[in-house]
Amino acid sequence: MKALYFDYNATTPVLPEVREAMLPCLENNYGNPSSPHGFGLKAKLTVSEARNRVAALLGAAPEQIVFTSCATEANNGLLRGLFPEKGAHLVTTAIEHPSILAPAAALEARGVEVTRVRPNRNGVVDAQTVLDACRPDTRLVSVMLANNETGAIQPVGEIARLAGAEGYLVHTDASQAVGKIPVDVETLGVDFLTLAGHKLYAPKGVGTLYARSRRTLPPLLLGGGQEGGLRGGTENVPHIAGLGAACELVRNGLEREISRQRGLGEIFDRELDRLARGVGLDVLVLSRDAGRLPNTRFVGFKGLDLARMLEELALADVAVSAGAACHGGETSISHVLEAMDAPADYAGCALRFSWGRPTTEQDVMDLMQRLGDACQTVRSD
């Protein structure tokens, strides 16, 4: 039985072209980019080529790209750097990834004021509400571009337009959006943007922080002056090379891949509907009426037991994510479901299905077959 991987929002496989780009850096191209000899220069060139490729995908200039170890480092570093002391105000949302929410809570504990804007029932925040939350002492507005659970796309361009016009700095965590939808920093008009390599077929352990102006970005790590002094530490050359190749790969034919993945979504919706009617199940697709990523569906299954569903799907070799966690028989729903006031009888068993470049129509059909079997088994427990 073929394993069915429907968890691309958790992480993606490293594609062959990416691996190919990395291999020389694990073999002969092992120099330190800071070294003043041939080995160093070769590694430096590799990093510089990758930087150009990341910049091209984002519509940025190469010098606006800072490589990090992951999206979490970029988000933490930006927040810590911009709020070094108590006071000042941060505006963010209640549906951010923990890599924003946790440092925001830590800043709050140190005396920074934090406003967390709530989304509507579709899981989307309102741009004007975000602007209304800003105050004269607001130092940063941070709103994710696409939510990792629902796939709901947030109005970041509009937020940047409104908040930028008032002089506020705007950051977007675009970890789930880059590579799935067109993301252009000029069109968005943001000051900072976070990217996670392993969500777009690069390896884990590499990310990027885009900064419109290097002057507004405090150093993420102090050290040997790498990344133009903004992120000390010897560059992870193999991973950076992989990220560059991945960016090049997703940039080519992005529109074609988006429409292919939308097509998979249509099959998913049609077959889910058929499954629900067939076995008399009540399902709710969360953020259904929002603009969503083409690869994501977050589905609540009314009255089904989440732990049993995950067990049955694991037995059927289906990989998905859950929108809730079970602790000793108690189920706690995710902060995203809670913030969007998702109906409790669906939120208790919400599963996230996310697909990617290697996913085929047959995979979606096979998923639905195994999902239907799992639903029936769990219902008859």
Residues at the site binding ligand PLP, with contacts judged by CB under 6 A = 70-72, 97, 99, 144, 148, 173, 175-176, 196, 198
Least Å distance, CB 86 to ligand PLP, is 26
Q: Which is nearer to ligand PLP, 99 or 115 (CB)?
A: 99
Longest Cα–Cα distance of the chain, Å, equals 69
**Checking DSSP bridges between strand 4-5 and strand 318-319, what pairing results, if any?**
parallel
Q: Which is nearer to ligand PLP, 43 or 196 (CB)?
A: 196
In whole angstroms, the minimum distance from the beta carbon of 92 to ligand PLP comes to: 12
Question: Nearest approach, Cβ of 14 to ligand PLP (angstroms)?
Answer: 14
Comparing C-alpha atoms, which of 150, 149, 81, 139 is closest to residue 115?
Answer: 139
Active site residues: 326
- Provide the residue type at 156 as one letter: V
DSSP state string for 166-218: TT--EEEE-TTTBTTB---HHHHT-SEEEEEGGGTTSPSS-EEEEES-GGG--
Structure token digits, residue 82: 């911009």
- What CA–CA distance (Å, rounded) separates 366 from 245? 31
Query: Nearest-5° angle of CA 125, CA 127, CA 128?
Result: 120
CB of 69 to ligand PLP, least distance (A): 8
With both helix axes pointing from N to C terminus, report the angle between 38-58 and 237-251 in degrees, rounded to the nearest 10: 30
Q: How far apart are CA 261 and CA 19, in angstroms?
A: 23
CB proximity list for 190: less than 8 A, separation 6 or greater: 156, 160, 170, 171, 172, 210, 212
Cα separations (Å) of 151 from 130, 181, 257? 19, 11, 17
Strand order of the sheet with strand 113-117?
65-68, 207-211, 192-196, 170-173, 138-142, 89-93, 113-117
